[in-house]
């Protein structure tokens, strides 16, 4: 698990990369345990950070999915996110394992 945690987020490799920032936001929100409308919330946060799509449009859900697809897939495989509810909401709720993993990843991040 430590090996996996050291590799998250999977998207982007630089702090000034939109994929990396989206991945860190994903982890931060999973760490809270509240994944309700998580993709839309990440889009809003990226927009607030100055990211845009097209001709300056706010970052939308589809763009966020493109940015964090690999991270979401890994979190689902690890059981960090519950499987889709019968309502089909995706991604699913953060599990206790997911909250702990996200917190561990963020706690291990070098702030420099």
Instruction: Look at residue 9 and tell me if it is in a domain.
Output: yes
Q: Could you list the residue range(s) of the whole structural domain that residue 60 is in?
A: 2-107
Instruction: Look at residue 22 and tell me if it is in a domain.
Output: yes
| Residue 88's pLDDT band (cuts 50, 70, 90) | low
Task: Kindly provide the b/e burial profile for residues 61-90, where b requires at least 16 CB atoms within 10 angstroms of the residue's own CB.
Answer: eebbbebbeebbebbbebebbeeeeeeeee
pLDDT at 110: 44
Read off the pLDDT of residues 20-63 as tens digits, 9 standing for 90 and up.
Answer: 999 999 999 999 999 999 999 999 999 999 999 999 999 999 99
Instruction: Look at residue 112 and tell me if it is in a domain.
Output: no
Number of folded domains that form the chain: 1
């Amino acid at each position: 698990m430590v090996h996996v945690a050291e590799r998250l987020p999977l998207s982007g490799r630089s702090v000034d990369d939109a994929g990396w920032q989206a991945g860190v936001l994903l982890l931060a929100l999973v760490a809270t345990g509240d994944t309700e409308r998580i993709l839309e919330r990440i889009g809003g946060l990226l927009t607030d950070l100055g990211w845009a799509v097209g001709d300056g449009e706010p970052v939308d859900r589809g763009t966020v999915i493109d940015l964090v697809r690999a991270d979401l897939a890994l979190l689902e495989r690890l059981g960090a996110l519950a499987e889709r509810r019968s309502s089909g909401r995706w991604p699913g709720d953060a599990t206790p394992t997911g909250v702990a993993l996200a917190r561990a990843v963020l706690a291990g991040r070098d702030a420099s």
